Amino acid sequence: MLGLKPGVRVAGRYELLQPLGEGGMGEVWSALHLITGKRIALKALKADKAARPELVHRFFREARAATAVTHPNVVSVHDVLSYAGAPVMVMELLEGESLAERLRREGRLELPRLAELLVPIVSAVGTAHARGIVHRDLKPENIFLSSSPSGGVIPKVLDFGIAKLTYDDAAGLSALTRTGSMVGTPFYMSPEQAAGEKDFDHRCDVWALGVICFEALSGARPFQGDNFGQVFKRIITEPAPSLKQRRPELPRAVVELVDGMLAKDRAARAALSEVLAVLSQHTDVRAPRFGAPQSELPPEPAAGFTRDSLEAAPALEPVATLADANATAEEPLPESLPPSSPLLETLGATTLGDAVRPRQRRALPLGSLALGAAALLTVASGIWWSLPRPSAAPAREPSPPIAARAATPPPAPFEAPAPTPPASEPPPAASPGKPLASHVPRLLAAPGVAKLREAAPSASALPARGEPEPPKKLPGGILDQDRAPF
């Protein structure tokens, strides 16, 4: 005996509250997580069953199959641990009733109600098939109608205890599923299961869902008998009755679908994608789509699942603390990355330190500054020579003091003459004896000076006489009124 009772603590963090159910294999309790305060369900294998390796293997098979299928309509398994030498499964706590209890109370279901419940179940089973998992024991007892917080119902697939994981085909069936062992519940077994065949696949789940649909819509199972022997014989030898005989008013597509799910030849059975398509026409409920059935899964560990391997499993690593996170964050960055790193190529750096440090402004070379100054002086000279001047330059008077200069009005603005269009023929080259003014037309015709003259304001844009005009600043920071004549 495991000695499970209210108040008992399992693994130091789960406190048992009350029993939820008990069967031949184990018992299920509601429990409270002492750290998070969340209520969960604990499923424990009975002590006498825990002494049988094949049953322990089946228990772990259920946990692995359930966790391998990520689907909102598959019961969640959070952990597996050991208590008093027996394995214990930590699962989500469900509140509600099974489909079997609903059928016992209501007798049968109308098509829209059945479609609402089975569309999510078909999606969950199809997702399991796409992961290479065959349930092999689908029945109304293993379809749980869980109550949602909003008051609705969330169907859940339970008990993957005898689920077939495809690595069994490579490693050989365990003692649980060897020839001669019965796998499944007789009323919902496919013909190949009832005949004891070893190569049955995902299509046995299609058969079981067909039996569930027949029973839920008609109120009776398709195959009955006084004992299991009679049931097996009829499943193997007799054709399944048509749903039309029990519910002639049902849509033809639904009748043909259920009849196709109960085909003796598994190659002729309907696919789950067809089942989902037909049932979805009679409900607004939508469920995740799934892929084609797969026949491969990651291989099972060579040692398999045993009670000894569970007890020898290492403890969980402690959760990292804030101090550990800070210490990690303060570690220095590596000084270099591989030379071919795309990050360094994008950032134009040779090391990771160069990439994350702020860049310093590079000084311009002296040669570039000298070339820029020479170009600016050339343009300024061309502009100066393009301006009109009196024939004789008067002698410059000494500049007044700054205070007197501020009180003296600026000189009257000059009127720039209209630009002279360039001659049709290039001017002759100036002889060495001619004055420098003879070179002005050629300077004015230069591309750079012509652009500057076009950008300069015209005479109409200049202020009228008598209006004060601020002194002009020529290139190089020289004020127009301070310009010295040459």
Catalytically annotated residues: 137
- What's the residue count for the chain? 486
130 CB contacts (<8 Å, ≥6 apart)? Answer: 290, 291, 292, 293, 294
Q: Closest Cα to residue 87, out of 102, 77, 97?
A: 77
Instruction: Count CB-CB contacts under 10 A for residue 108.
Output: 15
Residue 285 tokens read as 């409920």
Tokens 């009975």 sit on residue: 46
Q: What CA–CA distance (Å, rounded) separates 364 from 368? A: 7
Contacts of 109 (CB under 8 A, 6+ apart): 102, 103, 117, 216, 217
**Locus of tokens 């054709």:** 239
* DSSP state letter for 116: H
**Are the beta carbons of 306 and 57 closer than 8 angstroms?**
yes
Amino acid at 93: L
Which DSSP symbol is given to 390? -
Amino acid code (one letter) for 334? P
* Angle in degrees, CA 435, 441, 442, rounded to 5: 95
Give CA separation, 113 vs 110, 269, 355, 479, in Å.
Answer: 5, 24, 63, 95
Class of residue 361 by CB neighbours under 10 A (exposed 0-12, middle 13-18, buried 19+) = exposed
Q: If 0-12 CB within 10 Å is exposed, 13-18 middle and 19+ buried, where does residue 7 land?
A: exposed
Give the C-alpha distances (Å, rounded to integers) separating 212 from 73, 114, 262, 278: 17, 10, 11, 16
* Segments in 301-439 forming alpha helices (H): 307-311, 322-329, 342-347, 352-356, 366-386, 402-407
Tell me which residue of 126, 236, 131, 237 sits closest to 189, measured CA to CA.
Answer: 236
Cβ–Cβ < 8 Å for 14, 90: yes
